[in-house]
Amino acid sequence: MPDHAILTPEEHRDLRIRTDRSDALGDAVMACITVPSEFRRVQTHYPILFQRDQTRDGFTALAMFGFEAGENLFLEGGRWDARYRPLAIDSQPFLVGRGPEGSSLRQVHIDMASPRIGTGEGMRVFDDTGRPTPFLERIADQLRALDEDYVAATAFFAALQRHDLLEPLTLDVTLEDGSKNRLVGYHVIDEDRLEALDPASVAELHAEGHLLPIFMALASLGQIGDLVARKNRRLAHG
Amino acid sequence: MTVSDMQTDGLDMDRAITSIVIVGGGTAGWLAACLIAARADRDAERPLQVTLIESPDVATIGVGEGTWPTMRRTLERIGISETEFLLACDAAFKQGSRFDGWRTGAPDDRYLHPFTTPADAAPRDLASAWSDSGLAFAEALCAQHAVCSQDLAPRQRAMPDYAGTLNYAYHLDAGKFAALLARHATERLGVRHLRDHVVGVDGAADGDITAVRTRASGRIEGDLFLDCTGHAALLIGEHYGVGTIDRGRELFNDRALAVQLPVAADSAIASQTNATAHAAGWIWDIGLPARRGIGCVYSSAHLDDDAAADTLTRYLRATAPDAPLPDFRPLRFQSRHRNRFWHRNCLAIGLSAGFLEPLEASAIVLVELSVDALLDNFPATRRTMDLHAARFNTLFRYRWDRIVEFLKLHYVLSQRDEPYWRDHRDPGSIPPRLAELLQLWADQPPSHADFPMVDEIFPAASYQYVLYGMGFPAPRRTPVRTGTRGAADMLVQQVDRHGRMLAAALPTNRAYLDALRHAMTSATMETRA
């Protein structure tokens, strides 16, 4: 059970957060949410897929780490084998909270039930005087970016739907040991429709700042090959 | 002439040096044995043989509890993992020394000499950035100041062995350290260990030592003999009569009262040696996971033994009010060293070579440096040994002189008024080279130009920390520009940010060492299960 609390220097003066990476610390996940403003950085390592959102009438972008639930192919012996980690996973166990009803003030919340809550070792959040550490300053920047862009993502997906640029993806992967993996229920950019867009639509997408993330999402699909290679390596090494 | 002498008359000067006999089994002997055996080429045509003779009759001194950062390289070379070392020796991290009360004796009088060099800039820029900052020198220019003030470790457990975000050394239990080295030398490095008492020395006609005679095992022959017999100096002193140079006119301390206090399981472990000045000397305070080692160092010419005991008692009452007072262990020493350390085929290593008062913990590092110097220029045959010995003697005479000067620097800038401290400022007690440097440093900060050797024992940075820590003013501006002043202004801010970052990332010494012990215990239990 998550145990969310508002982060304060009074309550969390001595708190330490473990920043190593392992299954036990909650990193064994096949994907995490990503936002269009970080697609450029995410696509250097991870495929970006879109998933229809059950609660919001729209889509969510996901950075993929594996092919099945609980599988993270970037996790190797206590480290994460990539130079960049998506904001949503890198900022755990912190979350964005809102102030009192009607307030636009963002608060940093923390899940005190997270296994990342350290004892003795790990990154401190406040120093002895109660001042936020550079670690927390970075986390706060990440949370701010995530929160702003999660809202902006609604416009991005609305534009994709308006121009009918999403197509369902079904991916069958046959691994070297002959086993098959299948990714279903995801969407990607429809490349044919993108190429067929009329100049006015392209100009409109460009003006709204959607063109760059569209192409970054498209480029990210090249990383599916890397993910397959990681899976094969893992199978080969038991 | 004895029969044994006749056998070795007409020495073969081209014979290979392969058999090394170490006499004495304290920290110096075992450290030398490990370093030599670990660096010996086992595939050599005639591999090195190391024999260590340890007398069952002689107790080791065993109060050397501080190392230099060189110990990390030494342990890595020897092939002991950092985890094994830390756990087996009840060791903790040492990141420098803190000097309390050295300048005036006032309650807020303290400065830190951290092991990490100051931010990277020209010395003159550093000095002016510091003096503009209004902070203490080390605080302004080295992030280790922030780390030490919060009792933090210099590394995280996930880092590779012997790597740190900051430069560091160790505090350790000297008895356990010698025991670990002995185990490692005999069980893993093939060192031959003889528990026997040396009763005599056999010499050849030309003056070389051919063998030492032991009570139960007879003659032990060798090509090179290391005298690690401590103050007794059986070979270099008793046998060869190589003289010593007294440094007591410069460094007055000649006695100490040592004590060990157990500490609570969850108490903070200090990141540095604390050295607190008193009327006629100073008190060391070294934190290990399970105990504090404390000692009152003093000059018997300035303070009698009862007054020293009172001084130590007051310190213990002030820093550990609830602990019962254990008995004090009295130690006597002289600050002096040999005028030669390597004579013929005998090299003195450890206390037999000399000893200076324990400030700056120079004893163990001199053992490491001596063995490194031996191995880096190893005499392949007897013919070149005298040339190597002459070089070694020049190098180490230089090093002992620099250590004496650096130790003296801690005293000469004090404003304390007791006779002991006034005597330390007597020009007749100050080495001439140090007196010259102090004149130069009025105009320019300590720099590479003052310490031109490739492998100086103390870098200019160490002198800066002590000089400015003791309140020496920043040098006057000169008419020559350095051209880097602008960058220097940023330094203090960068150091502050770096310090905050490290303080967020590093565990306390206690948390680190507890977690290490815990991880090792659970791993052992898993292996057994």
Chain B interface test: which of A121, A131, A133, A135 (most B C-beta within 10 Å): A121
pLDDT tens series, chain B, 529 aa = 444 444 444 467 888 999 999 999 999 999 999 999 999 998 988 899 999 999 987 776 666 689 999 999 999 999 999 999 999 999 999 999 999 999 999 999 999 999 999 988 888 888 888 988 999 999 999 999 999 999 999 999 989 999 999 999 999 999 999 999 999 999 999 999 999 999 999 999 889 999 999 999 999 999 999 999 999 999 999 999 999 999 999 999 999 999 999 999 999 999 999 999 999 999 999 999 999 999 999 999 999 999 999 999 999 999 999 888 899 999 999 999 999 999 999 999 999 999 999 998 899 999 999 999 999 999 999 999 999 999 999 999 999 999 999 999 999 999 999 999 999 999 999 999 999 999 999 999 999 999 988 888 999 999 999 999 999 999 987 788 776 666 777 889 999 999 999 999 999 999 999 999 998 887 766 665 5
The packing angle between helices B382-412 and B460-469, to 10°, is: 20
b/e burial code for range B60-70 (CB count within 10 A of at least 16 → b): bbebbbbbbbe
Check: CB of residue B140 under 8 Å from CB of residue B133. yes
Contacts of A127 in chain B (CB under 8 A): 500, 503-504
Tell whether A15 lies on the interface with B, counting CB pairs under 8 A.
no
Check: CB of residue B512 under 8 Å from CB of residue B157. yes
Q: Going edge to edge, which strands form the sheet with B96-100?
A: B110-114, B96-100, B273-278, B281-287, B291-298, B255-262, B329-332
Check: CB of residue B99 under 8 Å from CB of residue B469. yes
Strand spans (E) along B122-191: 169-171
b/e burial code for range B360-375 (CB count within 10 A of at least 16 → b): bbbbbbbbbbbbbbbb
Question: Residue B218 has what DSSP assignment?
Answer: E
Q: Which two tokens stand for residue A233?
A: 């390596």
Torsion of CA A121, A122, A127, A131, to 10 degrees: -160
Q: Do A134 and B500 touch (CB under 8 A)?
A: yes
Q: How many A/B residue pairs have CB atoms within 8 Å?
A: 41
* Three-class secondary structure of residue B479 per DSSP: coil
pLDDT in tens, A22-81: 999 999 999 999 999 999 999 999 999 999 887 767 899 999 999 999 999 999 887 899
Of B156, B497, B501, the CB nearest to A121: B156
Catalytic residue among B66, B69, B92, B94: B94
Check: CB of residue B344 under 8 Å from CB of residue B224. no
Size (chain B), residues: 529
Q: Do B505 and A16 touch (CB under 8 A)?
A: no
Closest CA to B261 of B323, B188, B170: B323
Is there a cis peptide before residue B326, judged by omega within 30 degrees of 0? no
- Report the C-alpha gap between B418 and B426 in whole angstroms: 13
DSSP B30-92: HHHHHHHHHHS-TTSSS--EEEEEE-TT--------B--THHHHHHHHHT--HHHHHHHTT-E
The C-alpha of B510 sits at a distance from chain A's nearest C-alpha, in angstroms, of 8
- Report the C-alpha gap between B167 and B143 in whole angstroms: 11
Q: Do B503 and A135 touch (CB under 8 A)?
A: no
The CB-side HSE value for A127 (13 A sphere, CA atoms) comes to 21
Q: Do A120 and B504 touch (CB under 8 A)?
A: no
Size (chain A), residues: 238
Strand spans (E) along B382-523: none
pLDDT tens series, chain A, 238 aa = 788 899 999 999 999 999 989 999 999 999 999 999 999 999 999 999 999 887 767 899 999 999 999 999 999 887 899 999 999 999 999 998 876 666 667 889 999 999 999 888 899 999 989 999 999 999 999 999 888 888 789 899 999 999 999 999 988 888 888 888 888 889 999 999 999 999 999 999 999 999 999 999 999 999 999 999 999 998 887 6
Chain B interface test: which of A124, A128, A131, A135 (most B C-beta within 10 Å): A124
Domain ranges across chain A: 4-236
Domain boundaries B17-65+173-248+335-402, CATH class: alpha beta
Domain ranges across chain B: 17-65+173-248+335-402, 255-332
- Report the C-alpha gap between B473 and B73 in whole angstroms: 36
Check: CB of residue B319 under 8 Å from CB of residue B297. no
Is residue B94 part of the annotated active site? The answer reads yes
Q: What is the model's pLDDT at position A152?
A: 83
